[in-house]
Protein backbone atom coordinates (compact mmCIF):
# COMPACT_ATOMS: atom_id res chain seq x y z
CA UNK A 1 0.00 0.00 0.00
CA UNK A 2 1.35 3.40 -1.01
CA UNK A 3 1.88 6.13 1.59
CA UNK A 4 -1.02 8.60 1.82
CA UNK A 5 1.16 11.32 0.25
CA UNK A 6 0.78 9.61 -3.11
CA UNK A 7 -3.01 9.50 -2.98
CA UNK A 8 -5.16 11.95 -4.95
CA UNK A 9 -8.55 10.50 -4.08
CA UNK A 10 -11.04 13.32 -3.56
CA UNK A 11 -8.73 15.99 -4.95
CA UNK A 12 -9.93 18.31 -7.71
CA UNK A 13 -8.01 18.86 -10.95
CA UNK A 14 -8.48 20.67 -14.24
CA UNK A 15 -6.80 19.28 -17.37
CA UNK A 16 -7.04 21.44 -20.47
CA UNK A 17 -7.20 20.08 -24.03
CA UNK A 18 -7.79 16.60 -22.71
CA UNK A 19 -10.27 14.96 -25.07
CA UNK A 20 -7.51 12.88 -26.65
CA UNK A 21 -3.77 12.28 -26.67
CA UNK A 22 -1.60 13.07 -23.67
CA UNK A 23 -4.31 15.07 -21.91
CA UNK A 24 -6.68 12.13 -22.16
CA UNK A 25 -4.07 9.83 -20.71
CA UNK A 26 -3.58 12.16 -17.75
CA UNK A 27 -7.33 12.41 -17.09
CA UNK A 28 -7.70 8.62 -17.22
CA UNK A 29 -4.98 8.06 -14.62
CA UNK A 30 -6.24 10.81 -12.30
CA UNK A 31 -9.88 9.73 -12.49
CA UNK A 32 -9.06 6.04 -12.02
CA UNK A 33 -7.06 7.05 -8.93
CA UNK A 34 -10.14 8.61 -7.34
CA UNK A 35 -9.60 12.25 -8.25
CA UNK A 36 -12.33 14.60 -9.46
CA UNK A 37 -11.34 15.81 -12.92
CA UNK A 38 -12.64 18.55 -15.19
CA UNK A 39 -11.58 17.85 -18.78
CA UNK A 40 -11.71 20.67 -21.31
CA UNK A 41 -11.54 20.83 -25.10
CA UNK A 42 -12.17 23.49 -27.69
CA UNK A 43 -15.06 21.48 -29.20
CA UNK A 44 -17.35 18.72 -27.98
CA UNK A 45 -16.39 16.41 -30.87
CA UNK A 46 -14.14 14.09 -28.86
CA UNK A 47 -14.99 15.36 -25.39
CA UNK A 48 -18.46 13.79 -25.29
CA UNK A 49 -17.15 10.44 -26.52
CA UNK A 50 -14.42 10.51 -23.89
CA UNK A 51 -16.89 11.31 -21.13
CA UNK A 52 -19.16 8.43 -22.23
CA UNK A 53 -16.17 6.09 -22.36
CA UNK A 54 -15.14 7.03 -18.82
CA UNK A 55 -18.72 6.55 -17.58
CA UNK A 56 -18.76 3.02 -19.01
CA UNK A 57 -15.53 2.29 -17.15
CA UNK A 58 -17.03 3.60 -13.90
CA UNK A 59 -14.95 6.78 -13.69
CA UNK A 60 -17.18 9.81 -14.20
CA UNK A 61 -15.51 13.08 -15.15
CA UNK A 62 -16.70 16.64 -15.55
CA UNK A 63 -16.36 18.22 -18.99
CA UNK A 64 -16.60 21.71 -20.42
CA UNK A 65 -16.09 23.11 -23.90
CA UNK A 66 -13.51 25.87 -23.53
CA UNK A 67 -10.79 27.48 -25.63
CA UNK A 68 -7.56 27.50 -23.59
CA UNK A 69 -6.32 30.52 -25.58
CA UNK A 70 -9.30 32.61 -24.43
CA UNK A 71 -9.17 34.52 -21.12
CA UNK A 72 -12.99 34.50 -20.96
CA UNK A 73 -13.11 30.74 -21.41
CA UNK A 74 -10.53 30.30 -18.65
CA UNK A 75 -12.72 32.37 -16.35
CA UNK A 76 -15.66 30.16 -17.31
CA UNK A 77 -13.65 27.02 -16.63
CA UNK A 78 -12.40 28.11 -13.21
CA UNK A 79 -15.86 29.26 -12.15
CA UNK A 80 -17.39 25.96 -13.29
CA UNK A 81 -14.85 23.97 -11.27
CA UNK A 82 -15.36 26.07 -8.14
CA UNK A 83 -19.12 25.75 -8.41
CA UNK A 84 -18.72 21.97 -8.53
CA UNK A 85 -16.03 21.54 -5.92
CA UNK A 86 -15.41 24.82 -3.98
CA UNK A 87 -11.68 24.08 -4.21
CA UNK A 88 -9.17 23.33 -6.99
CA UNK A 89 -6.05 21.36 -6.11
CA UNK A 90 -4.24 21.33 -9.42
CA UNK A 91 -4.16 22.46 -13.04
CA UNK A 92 -2.56 20.80 -16.07
CA UNK A 93 -1.98 23.10 -19.05
CA UNK A 94 -1.87 20.62 -21.90
CA UNK A 95 -2.89 22.33 -25.15
CA UNK A 96 -0.39 22.04 -27.98
CA UNK A 97 -0.02 21.86 -31.76
CA UNK A 98 2.66 21.59 -34.42
CA UNK A 99 3.29 23.11 -37.85
CA UNK A 100 6.24 21.81 -39.82
CA UNK A 101 7.48 24.61 -42.05
CA UNK A 102 10.85 26.31 -42.53
CA UNK A 103 11.31 29.97 -41.82
CA UNK A 104 12.74 30.60 -45.30
CA UNK A 105 12.97 28.69 -48.57
CA UNK A 106 15.73 26.08 -48.65
CA UNK A 107 17.80 24.24 -51.25
CA UNK A 108 15.31 21.38 -51.47
CA UNK A 109 12.81 23.61 -53.18
CA UNK A 110 10.49 24.06 -50.21
CA UNK A 111 8.92 27.46 -50.72
CA UNK A 112 6.09 27.27 -48.19
CA UNK A 113 7.21 29.57 -45.42
CA UNK A 114 5.79 30.06 -41.96
CA UNK A 115 3.48 33.05 -42.04
CA UNK A 116 2.96 35.63 -39.30
CA UNK A 117 -0.42 34.07 -38.61
CA UNK A 118 1.05 30.56 -38.25
CA UNK A 119 3.79 31.79 -35.92
CA UNK A 120 1.24 33.50 -33.67
CA UNK A 121 -1.10 30.49 -33.86
CA UNK A 122 1.54 28.05 -32.58
CA UNK A 123 2.80 30.41 -29.85
CA UNK A 124 -0.76 30.99 -28.68
CA UNK A 125 -1.63 27.28 -28.59
CA UNK A 126 1.61 26.11 -27.00
CA UNK A 127 2.71 28.99 -24.78
CA UNK A 128 0.11 31.72 -24.31
CA UNK A 129 -2.52 29.16 -23.28
CA UNK A 130 -0.36 28.13 -20.31
CA UNK A 131 0.23 31.76 -19.33
CA UNK A 132 -3.53 32.33 -19.38
CA UNK A 133 -4.24 29.16 -17.42
CA UNK A 134 -1.71 30.03 -14.74
CA UNK A 135 -3.05 33.55 -14.45
CA UNK A 136 -6.66 32.35 -14.26
CA UNK A 137 -5.98 29.90 -11.43
CA UNK A 138 -3.64 32.19 -9.51
CA UNK A 139 -6.24 34.04 -7.42
CA UNK A 140 -7.77 30.78 -6.19
CA UNK A 141 -4.40 29.27 -5.35
CA UNK A 142 -3.35 32.45 -3.53
CA UNK A 143 -6.57 32.32 -1.55
CA UNK A 144 -5.92 28.68 -0.65
CA UNK A 145 -2.19 29.28 -0.12
CA UNK A 146 -1.66 26.00 -1.97
CA UNK A 147 -1.86 24.55 -5.48
CA UNK A 148 -0.13 22.46 -8.12
CA UNK A 149 0.43 23.42 -11.77
CA UNK A 150 1.88 21.26 -14.54
CA UNK A 151 2.74 22.69 -17.94
CA UNK A 152 3.10 20.15 -20.75
CA UNK A 153 6.11 20.96 -22.93
CA UNK A 154 8.08 18.52 -25.11
CA UNK A 155 11.46 17.23 -26.23
CA UNK A 156 11.78 20.32 -28.45
CA UNK A 157 12.33 22.38 -25.30
CA UNK A 158 15.75 20.78 -24.95
CA UNK A 159 16.65 20.27 -28.62
CA UNK A 160 15.33 22.29 -31.53
CA UNK A 161 13.29 20.58 -34.23
CA UNK A 162 14.34 21.47 -37.81
CA UNK A 163 11.61 23.25 -39.78
CA UNK A 164 9.54 23.71 -36.63
CA UNK A 165 10.80 27.00 -35.25
CA UNK A 166 7.59 28.20 -33.61
CA UNK A 167 7.01 24.81 -32.01
CA UNK A 168 10.54 24.59 -30.59
CA UNK A 169 10.50 28.17 -29.30
CA UNK A 170 7.10 27.80 -27.67
CA UNK A 171 8.01 24.52 -25.96
CA UNK A 172 11.21 26.08 -24.61
CA UNK A 173 9.17 29.06 -23.47
CA UNK A 174 7.00 26.77 -21.35
CA UNK A 175 10.10 25.68 -19.44
CA UNK A 176 11.01 29.29 -18.63
CA UNK A 177 7.41 30.11 -17.76
CA UNK A 178 7.47 27.20 -15.34
CA UNK A 179 10.77 28.14 -13.73
CA UNK A 180 9.88 31.80 -13.32
CA UNK A 181 6.43 31.23 -11.85
CA UNK A 182 7.83 28.56 -9.54
CA UNK A 183 10.16 31.17 -8.05
CA UNK A 184 7.50 33.88 -7.88
CA UNK A 185 4.87 31.63 -6.28
CA UNK A 186 6.97 29.44 -3.98
CA UNK A 187 6.20 31.83 -1.10
CA UNK A 188 2.51 31.00 -1.55
CA UNK A 189 3.05 27.22 -1.43
CA UNK A 190 2.24 26.88 -5.13
CA UNK A 191 4.27 24.28 -7.02
CA UNK A 192 4.82 24.81 -10.76
CA UNK A 193 6.46 22.04 -12.76
CA UNK A 194 6.76 20.95 -16.36
CA UNK A 195 6.51 17.59 -18.14
CA UNK A 196 8.27 17.25 -21.49
CA UNK A 197 7.04 14.15 -23.35
CA UNK A 198 8.69 12.54 -26.33
CA UNK A 199 6.72 10.42 -28.81
CA UNK A 200 3.31 9.44 -27.43
CA UNK A 201 0.96 8.58 -30.32
CA UNK A 202 -2.69 8.15 -29.44
CA UNK A 203 -3.72 4.64 -30.59
CA UNK A 204 -7.31 5.85 -30.97
CA UNK A 205 -6.30 8.32 -33.67
CA UNK A 206 -3.54 6.41 -35.46
CA UNK A 207 -4.10 3.96 -38.27
CA UNK A 208 -2.08 0.76 -38.64
CA UNK A 209 0.38 2.34 -41.07
CA UNK A 210 1.06 5.23 -38.67
CA UNK A 211 1.51 2.87 -35.74
CA UNK A 212 3.98 0.80 -37.76
CA UNK A 213 5.89 3.94 -38.73
CA UNK A 214 6.05 5.22 -35.14
CA UNK A 215 7.25 1.80 -33.98
CA UNK A 216 9.88 1.61 -36.71
CA UNK A 217 11.21 5.10 -35.97
CA UNK A 218 11.24 4.41 -32.26
CA UNK A 219 13.26 1.23 -32.63
CA UNK A 220 15.91 3.15 -34.57
CA UNK A 221 15.99 6.46 -32.69
CA UNK A 222 14.76 6.08 -29.11
CA UNK A 223 17.22 4.47 -26.67
CA UNK A 224 14.43 2.45 -24.99
CA UNK A 225 13.34 1.25 -28.46
CA UNK A 226 9.65 2.12 -28.17
CA UNK A 227 7.15 4.94 -28.15
CA UNK A 228 5.49 5.89 -24.91
CA UNK A 229 2.13 4.86 -23.52
CA UNK A 230 -0.22 7.73 -22.73
CA UNK A 231 -0.73 6.41 -19.22
CA UNK A 232 2.99 6.86 -18.50
CA UNK A 233 2.64 10.63 -18.72
CA UNK A 234 -0.45 10.28 -16.55
CA UNK A 235 1.49 8.47 -13.83
CA UNK A 236 4.12 11.22 -13.81
CA UNK A 237 1.42 13.88 -13.61
CA UNK A 238 -0.20 11.95 -10.78
CA UNK A 239 3.04 12.12 -8.80
CA UNK A 240 3.60 15.82 -9.47
CA UNK A 241 0.01 16.62 -8.43
CA UNK A 242 0.22 14.54 -5.25
CA UNK A 243 1.62 15.62 -1.90
CA UNK A 244 4.56 13.28 -2.47
CA UNK A 245 6.07 15.96 -4.74
CA UNK A 246 5.57 18.93 -2.41
CA UNK A 247 9.29 19.71 -2.36
CA UNK A 248 9.60 19.80 -6.16
CA UNK A 249 9.03 23.05 -8.04
CA UNK A 250 10.41 24.72 -11.15
CA UNK A 251 11.50 21.41 -12.64
CA UNK A 252 11.08 20.02 -16.15
CA UNK A 253 10.90 16.24 -16.32
CA UNK A 254 11.65 14.70 -19.72
CA UNK A 255 9.73 11.48 -20.31
CA UNK A 256 10.97 10.36 -23.71
CA UNK A 257 12.73 7.02 -23.49
CA UNK A 258 16.10 8.80 -23.54
CA UNK A 259 15.43 10.61 -26.83
CA UNK A 260 16.41 14.05 -25.54
CA UNK A 261 19.83 12.68 -24.63
CA UNK A 262 20.56 11.84 -28.27
CA UNK A 263 21.10 13.99 -31.38
CA UNK A 264 17.97 12.56 -33.00
CA UNK A 265 14.35 13.66 -33.10
CA UNK A 266 11.43 11.37 -33.81
CA UNK A 267 8.56 12.98 -35.71
CA UNK A 268 5.21 11.59 -34.64
CA UNK A 269 2.68 11.37 -31.87
CA UNK A 270 2.68 15.07 -31.04
CA UNK A 271 0.21 16.34 -28.51
CA UNK A 272 -2.94 17.91 -29.94
CA UNK A 273 -6.38 18.79 -28.57
Catalytic residue annotation:
167
> Of 74, 76, 124, which Cα lies nearest the Cα of 97?
124
Q: 192 pairs with which residues across the strands?
A: 149
Neighbours of 241 (CB within 10 A): 28
HEC string of the chain equals CCCHHHCCCCCEEEECCCCCHHHHHHHHHHHHCCCEEEEEECCCCCHHHHHHHHHHCCCCCEEEECCCCCHHHHHHHHHHHHHHHCCCCEEEECCCCCCCECCCCCCCCCCCCCCHHHHHHHHHHHHHHHHHHHHHHHHHHHHHCCEEEEEECCHHHCCCCCCEHHHHHHHHHHHHHHHHHHHHHHHHCEEEEEEEECCCCCHHHCCHHHHHHHHHHHHHHCCCCCCCCHHHHHHHHHHHHCHHHCCCCCCEEEECCCHHHCCCCCCCCCCCC
Amino acid sequence: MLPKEYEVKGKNFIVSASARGIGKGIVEVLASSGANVLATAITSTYLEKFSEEMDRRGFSIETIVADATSPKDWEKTINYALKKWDKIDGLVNNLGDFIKKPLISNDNGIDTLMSDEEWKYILDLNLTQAFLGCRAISSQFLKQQKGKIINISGVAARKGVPNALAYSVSKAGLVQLTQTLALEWAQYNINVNCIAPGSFPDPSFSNNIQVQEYTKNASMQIPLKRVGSLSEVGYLALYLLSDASNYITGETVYIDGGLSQTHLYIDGGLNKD
